[in-house]
């Protein structure tokens, strides 16, 4: 399957590596290809720069955001939440139209340091803003409640016995997204929360997730819904 990933950070890299490993045709999009490849500084948490990662994953192509969106039969938004709307505009509305857009971003504002606040909450969400800005895209909010490594390998915590969420306005898109999450990454328990307004809940969970990380000393954690 042809998959476009928007964003070259740790989320984009982790998703890209896994999907490439599974045999998918992956293009990762960035605002500035040359600048991305020239960047030599490691990630604040110690991950290598994209250029180093890319050498280890030569099967993943790097292109402009519009190229990645055009390439993908499905598109994943793995950009920083503060820049997601602008990144998606650069990707091009026509390149997103009719496609399932998996939105893994969170509206985190780090301008005042840690812990971050949310740029939007309560009566709106980034997921809703994206759907309004790109009405022809089939936005499915998912993967935003776990760290990148758990996104692609839920078995790393509790043998995979924990919960992931999806929400969106298009039922068929959510059904397809749920099937992909199970087939690609091995998720066992995926709960459909309803329409895209449910992204308010999953995005507002992030402040708690960050506090849990601080309290436990690890981001390798998740919640399990027990009925």
| Burial degree of 40 (CB within 10 A; 0-12, 13-18, 19+) | exposed
Task: State the Cα–Cα distance between residues 92 and 153, nearest whole angstrom.
Answer: 31
Task: State the Cα–Cα distance between residues 137 and 131, nearest whole angstrom.
Answer: 7
Whole-angstrom CA distances from 158 to 139, 153, 169 are 29, 11, 31
Tally of CB atoms within 10 A around 151: 24
pLDDT of residue 110: 86
First to last CA, the chain: 35
Where do the domains of the chain lie, and which CATH numbers do they carry? 2-216 (3.40.50.720)
Q: Indicate whether this model's pTM tops 0.85.
A: yes
Task: State the Cα–Cα distance between residues 28 and 66, nearest whole angstrom.
Answer: 10
Phi, psi of 220 (to 5 degrees): -85, 75
Q: Are 142 and 103 in contact (CB under 8 A)?
A: yes
pLDDT of residue 68: 98
Given the structure tokens 């998703």, which residue do they identify? 15
Continuous segment of H or E residues that includes residue 63: strand 61-64
Query: By C-alpha distance, which of 67, 75, 89 is closest to 24?
Result: 75
pLDDT of residue 153: 98
pLDDT of residue 41: 79
Question: Cis link prior to 115 (omega < 30° from 0)?
Answer: yes
pLDDT of residue 212: 96
pLDDT along the chain (227 residues), means of 10: 97 97 98 91 77 94 98 98 97 98 95 88 98 98 98 98 98 98 98 98 97 96 97
The H-assigned helical ranges of 83-222 are 84-91, 93-96, 126-133, 148-152, 171-180, 199-204, 206-216
């Amino acid at each position: 399957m042809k998959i476009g990933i928007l964003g070259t950070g740790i989320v984009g890299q982790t998703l890209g590596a896994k999907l490439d490993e599974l045999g998918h045709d992956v293009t990762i999009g960035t605002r500035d290809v040359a600048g991305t490849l020239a960047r030599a500084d490691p990630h604040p948490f110690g991950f290598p720069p994209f250029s180093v990662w890319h050498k280890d994953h030569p099967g993943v192509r790097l292109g402009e955001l519009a190229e990645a969106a055009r390439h993908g039969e499905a598109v994943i938004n793995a950009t920083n939440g503060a820049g997601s709307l602008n990144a998606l505009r650069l990707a091009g509305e026509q390149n997103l139209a009719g496609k399932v857009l998996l939105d893994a971003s969170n509206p985190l504002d780090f301008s005042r340091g840690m812990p971050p606040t949310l740029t939007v909450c309560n009566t709106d969400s980034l997921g809703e803003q994206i759907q309004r800005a790109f009405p022809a895209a089939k936005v499915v909010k998912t993967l935003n409640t776990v760290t990148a490594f758990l996104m692609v390998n839920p078995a790393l915590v509790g043998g995979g016995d924990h919960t992931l969420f999806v929400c969106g306005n298009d039922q068929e898109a959510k059904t397809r997204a749920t099937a992909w999450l199970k087939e690609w990454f091995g998720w066992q328990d995926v709960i459909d929360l309803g329409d895209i307004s449910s992204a308010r809940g999953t995005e507002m969970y992030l402040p708690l997730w960050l506090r849990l990380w601080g309290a436990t000393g690890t981001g390798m954690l998740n919640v399990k819904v027990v009925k």
